[in-house]
Amino acid sequence: MEKNYVIVGNSAAAIGCVEGIRQVDTKGSILIVSDEPHHTYSRPLISYLLWGKTDRQRMKYRPDSFYEDNKVDTLFGVKATALHPEEHTLELDNGETVTYGKLLLATGSRPFIPPMEGLDQVEKKFTFMTLNDALALEEAITPDSKVLIVGAGLIGLKCAEGIFEKVTSLTVVDLANRILPSILDEEGSKLVQEYIEKKGVKFYLSDSVAKFEEGVARLNSGAEVEYDVVVIAVGVRPNVELAQQAGIDVNRGILTDVHCATSAADVYAAGDCTVSHNIASDQDQILALLPNAYMQGETAGIEMAGGEANYDKAIPMNAMGMLGLHMITAGVYDGEVYKEQNCEGYKKLFVKDGKLKGYILIGDVIKRAGIYTSLIREQTPLDEIDFDLIKHSPQLMAFAKKERKVKLAGAKE
Amino acid sequence: MKRVYVNEEWCLGCHLCEYQCAFANSGETDMVKALKGVKINPRIQVEEGDGVNFAVQCRHCEEPLCVKGCISGALSIKDGVIHLDENKCVGCYTCVLMCPYGAIMPGNGTAVQKCELCLNNSCGEPACVKGCPNAAIVYEER
């Protein structure tokens, strides 16, 4: 088989790539290879699926006609086993070899399962990353279930939210001393933890499972937690094996330039399997976030098709609901702090070197948060705007008249 | 494409556009019935400053960060208009995080809400513009 473009993966980065390619090249042949046997779906929506806030049809990331509309051939349930950048070929586990013009690695990440004594004896244990994970968990839980979630990060807590109404008890254990450490500061973590605890979720922090016994997990603190279902959500690892075996530069994640090109000619990479440059901290890190994955994929697609695009404004950013409490966060929590806390919610802005570097918004203070995000992404010098005005409520009034004309009146920059 | 543009010099800050928006998107045919005693949650919002006022709603960007960031596929571009499929939206507010204009906001139910130029309601053209007494917002190509 021979294709102009081959994409390994079928989630946000892959879809972004298709849409990027089609902005430039409406004709070239595209093949998507994915080991998951599903039409593209939104991974972050698996918790909403269990919660009953969406369903299999509505959680499709793109319409049923997406592949047809974009003239994309698909091989679902097929795994790519070897990549040969010199020959421009990709070997598949169905025995076929595909010759490509340009290739995108959008291989994502997979749950990391640390060794835990007795875990192999646990009958109902799950991870929470894919649609199949969610469907398997849904089948295992009953209204009498006592669920133990190992991991108080995004994945563990979204899982808790998803099954909250469907089980008897939910216990979350984490080695860290606070919840959501990657998206909140200490104060914010405490606030959100209290909210979730009031809803009835029990936390054991700075603690871990010493041993799983039948129906009981013994924690290192000495506590015992009854369970019948275990979810492991301690973290993810990027899927870099295909790249590594092909001799492509990898440092934890696949390394790319601003055009999302890897060290191998005609091979690009996007999404959770890659390393991004966080412009808020000026550091390289894996930013496994859907918006970033899409934008990387789109950039790669445009470049693969001969257009020009840069992925050079990456920052960590999260919008997350937790049992009715909303939080929006972005950037890094470094620098001088502006803080507001009242009955409406909790807000912190972080300013360094005359620029907004990060923010945390929890509760009813999330409105127009994107104005803050844009200040971080664009690295806007704060002396060019009325920052005092914008601290309390984000608004376009803080920008100079000339800038407002560009934003609202169609004036050219 | 025709968009709603702001003439901030002419904006009186009367907030009529907000009421027109709330009415147009209420599904009601009678303005009193739609708005009486209701705390409106319009998709256009007037910013008031020191002698300057202007209204802000979705800019229908050519490179919409909300659409690129949408985790559910609920936001899409249809003939240049940024369209929200309320049925797909789970209210995660990633679009609120992404929009540099602060023009997408929590709706009255689970889904967010945004201006769709009244192309998705019975008005058929922006009600805010039609109702603006001073041409402080206009619907045209620029």
Most B-contacting residue of A11, A393, A408 (CB-CB within 10 A), to test interface: A408
pLDDT at A404: 97
Residue A42 has its nearest CB partner, among B54, B56, B72, at B72
Tell me whether residues A291 and B94 touch, CB distance under 8 A.
yes
> pTM score, two decimals?
0.97
pLDDT digits (tens), chain B, 142 positions? 999 999 999 999 999 999 999 999 999 999 999 999 999 999 999 999 989 999 999 999 999 999 999 999 999 999 999 999 999 999 999 999 999 999 999 999 999 999 999 999 989 899 999 999 999 999 999 9
CATH homologous superfamily of A2-110+237-304 equals: FAD/NAD(P)-binding domain (3.50.50.60)
Chain B residues with CB under 8 Å of A12 CB are 71
Percent of chain A predicted with pLDDT > 70: 100
Backbone angles phi, psi at A370, to 5 degrees: -60, -25
Rounded CA separation B116/B122 (Å): 12
For A329, the closest chain B residue by CA position comes to B97
Tell me whether residues A409 and B5 touch, CB distance under 8 A.
yes
Q: Which helix (H) or strand (E) holds A188?
A: helix A186-199
For A402, the closest chain B residue by CA position comes to B8
CB neighbours of A388 closer than 8 A, spacing ≥ 6?
none
Chain B residues with CB under 8 Å of A317 CB are 97-98
Instruction: Give chain A's mean pLDDT.
Output: 97
Of the candidates B84, B58, B57, the residue with the CA atom closest to the CA atom of residue B70: B84
For B74, the closest chain A residue by CA position comes to A61
- Partnered with residue A102 across adjacent β-strands are A5
Predicted confidence band of residue A181 (pLDDT cuts 50, 70, 90): very high
- Partnered with residue B55 across adjacent β-strands are B46
B52-111 residues touching A, CB cutoff 8 A: 52, 54, 56, 59, 65, 68-69, 71-73, 87-88, 90-102, 104-106, 110
Average pLDDT over residues A30-53: 98
Question: Which string of b and e fits B28-57 if b means at least 16 CB within 10 Å?
Answer: eeeeeebbeeeeeebbbbbbeeeeebbbbb
Residue A291 has its nearest CB partner, among B3, B54, B68, at B68
pLDDT at A241: 98
CATH of A326-408, picked from 2.60.40.3140, 3.40.50.460, 3.30.43.10, 3.30.390.30, is: 3.30.390.30
| pLDDT, tens digit (0-9, with 9 covering 90-100), for A341-356 | 999 999 999 999 999 9
User: Which value does ipTM take for this structure?
Assistant: 0.98
Percent of chain A predicted with pLDDT > 90: 100
| pLDDT, tens digit (0-9, with 9 covering 90-100), for A107-139 | 999 999 999 999 999 999 999 999 999 999 999
Q: Tell me if A2-110+237-304 shares its fold with A113-234.
A: yes
For residues A412 and A133, the model is more confident at A133
The domain ranges of chain A are: 2-110+237-304, 113-234, 326-408
Classify strands B75-78 and B81-84 as parallel, antiparallel or unpaired. antiparallel
CA distance to partner chain A, nearest, from residue B142 (Å): 6
A304-343 residues touching B, CB cutoff 8 A: 317-321, 326, 328, 330
Most A-contacting residue of B97, B101, B112, B140 (CB-CB within 10 A), to test interface: B97
| pLDDT, tens digit (0-9, with 9 covering 90-100), for A160-180 | 999 999 999 999 999 999 999
Give the CATH architecture of domain B60-114.
Answer: 2-Layer Sandwich (3.30)
Q: Measuring CA to CA, how many Å separate A121 from each of A138, A139, A254, B2? A: 20, 19, 35, 64
The domain ranges of chain B are: 1-57+120-137, 60-114
Q: Which two tokens stand for residue A37?
A: 């046997």
For residues B124 and A196, the model is more confident at A196
Rounded CA separation B115/A151 (Å): 39
CA distance to partner chain B, nearest, from residue A202 (Å): 24
CATH homologous superfamily of A113-234 equals: FAD/NAD(P)-binding domain (3.50.50.60)
Predicted confidence band of residue A413 (pLDDT cuts 50, 70, 90): confident
